[in-house]
Structure 1
Amino acid sequence: MTTLPIALIQTRTPASPAAAFAHVEPLIREAAAGGAKLILTPEATNFLIQDRAKRDAVLTTADADEVVQKLRGLARELGVWLLIGSAIVKSGHDGDDRAANRSILIDDAGEVAATYDKLHVYDVDLPTGERWRESASIRPGDGAVIADTPWGKLGLTICYDIRFPQLHRALAKAGAVMISVPAAFTVPTGEAHWETLLRARAIETGAYVLAPAQAGTHEDGRRTWGRSTVVAPWGEVIANLDNDEPGVLFATLDFDAVARARNAVPQLTHDREFVLPS
């Protein structure tokens, strides 16, 4: 039996990189002291700024980003694997001044093991009147990413990606036994859909779903849902924070549960070609 002690970090990320690191560092240290070998932070760990001009004033490349580089050093110091759920960084695409919303997986030597740019950008008009156009400031990624870890393959997704089951199915079919869903969910959609979507993706893939979240009312006025959650391959919630306060959520993953779920319902092997409706 292979098991893995993990921790999800729930944050209320400030608007400046220096404050963001000061906020998340003690939580990561707490997670490592509690025995976690894989630690995951939420979407937008390096800063959370809605105003485009203010954001662009601190935006830099991942190699130069203060929070990313300090977190690499922290992973090395603590001897843990660390997923920066996402950092908002320059995309590196000439002619496109939009940022990338990028997950960065760091190994226990502080090296970058994998990166993933959010595929699906959040362009919505909610019944509450909230309007979001993430595509105006975030360049969507071009491909799915699966990363090797000492405990098995980790599929990378970010927030709004949770609504696209085909992505998660592709990750599972490529061998993912864990799928990360770092998020900054809005309150209306979080209250209505967060846990249901996470459980559905776990059931459909027979994989662990690991969802660290932003939480509470932020400096720029944004409100996020929190409720960081770990869902097992059979769809049961095995750990969650039932609030929107910063904190650490511990869980232990038993990878025999992946095999049990997939053997019981081998849906990943049952695809059939079909004719689309006209």
Structure 2
Amino acid sequence: MSFKIALIQLAVSATKADNLKRASQLVSHAAKEGAKLVSLPECFNSPYGTSYFPEYAEKIPGTSSHSLASMAKDNDIYLIGGSIPEEEDGKLFNTCCVFDPKGEIVAKHRKIHLFDIDVPGKIRFQESETLSPGNSFTMFDTPYCKVGVGICYDIRFPELAHVYAKENCKLLVYPGAFNMTTGPAHWELLQRGRALDNQLYVATVSPARDTGASYVAWGHSSVINPWGQVIATTEEKETVLFAVIDPAYVNEVRDQIPIRKQKRDDMYTLDWNKI
């Protein structure tokens, strides 16, 4: 059964209440346009940056998760709540909660691979200075297909997507905030690579670009199909991006090019507990 997905490329401000209000407005708009699954971007309720994570962090359940639950229930949709800085037992995480149409949490993903990079003369960013990593895979079922979730830097690690594909996910969603250095170089390539590697749909949802922010997001939220084609994309401004996901097309592509029947996993063994 085909269904419509909506990616909300939100313009994030420094005021949490304003971010939640604007997110609610755009989620409602997406649902009215027929979206059954809606996703917000990474760090949608606060500015993105190591100095902001401790200030904006909250427990789950908390203010932001309660707001997300209401958005899902009021609009009768599945909602991937981008991510928020989460605090638990003195640790901070970059966390994505997923809500069903009843407003109940059906999945929670803590970013596994922290964004620690140093490109001389361009960008240095170390999430590990304040955040702790998650350590679990995150999937949830819908009436349409099973969906796998990652956050931003997780997309660089094909093993994660491969596990999701093995578990019969037909759509992977990565809320992410690539920057002005890695965005133009790698953002689309990584999405198309994960889609082709695993013959499934990949959706990425970024915050809108704010050139006055300390961390400037690339934008360009997109949806890639199992053939590696970009079927929906946008530029850098705030918008709601729509695409149609056809789970049957995943099966069609896998039948046409049956790479998953080659038993390649017999060639190596990986200890997934050490991710």
Q: In the alignment, is residue 161 of structure 1 matched against residue 161 of structure 2?
A: no
1:75 maps to which residue?
72
Gapped runs of 5+ residues in structure 2? 270-275
The size of the alignment, in residue pairs, is 268
2:6 maps to which residue?
7
Residue pairs, 1:29-108, within 5 angstroms: 29-50=28-49, 52=51, 54-64=52-62, 66-90=63-87, 92=88, 94=89, 97-108=90-101
Query: Bigger shift: 251-260 or 55-64?
Result: 55-64
The DSSP-based 3-state class of the residue aligned with 2:85 is strand
The DSSP-based 3-state class of the residue aligned with 2:232 is strand
**TM-score of the two chains, using structure 2 as the length reference:** 0.92
8 A Cα contact 2:50 2:127, kept in partner: no
Identity among equivalent pairs (%): 33
Q: CA RMSD in A?
A: 1.7
**TM-score of the two chains, using structure 1 as the length reference:** 0.91
Q: Deviations over 1:73-112 (max 9, x none)?
A: 121111111101212111x2x4xx3311111110001000
Instruction: Return the alpha-carbon distance in structure 2 between the equivalents of residues 219 and 61 of structure 1.
Output: 29
2:261 maps to which residue?
269
How far is the alpha carbon of 1:275 from its aligned partner? Answer: 7.2
Q: In the alignment, is residue 145 of structure 1 matched against residue 138 of structure 2?
A: yes
How far is the alpha carbon of 1:57 from its aligned partner? Answer: 3.2
The DSSP-based 3-state class of the residue aligned with 1:57 is helix
How far is the alpha carbon of 1:220 from its aligned partner? Answer: 4.0
Gapped runs of 5+ residues in structure 1? none
Q: In the alignment, is residue 120 of structure 1 matched against residue 113 of structure 2?
A: yes
1:19 maps to which residue?
18
8 A Cα contact 1:84 1:105, kept in partner: yes
8 A Cα contact 1:98 1:136, kept in partner: no
Query: Bigger shift: 248-257 or 12-21?
Result: 12-21
1:184 aligns with one of 170, 177, 182: 177
8 A Cα contact 1:15 1:219, kept in partner: no
Instruction: Return the alpha-carbon distance in structure 2 between the equivalents of residues 128 and 273 of structure 1.
Output: 43
1:260 maps to which residue?
252
8 A Cα contact 2:54 2:85, kept in partner: no
Residue pairs, 1:223-242, within 5 angstroms: 223-241=216-234
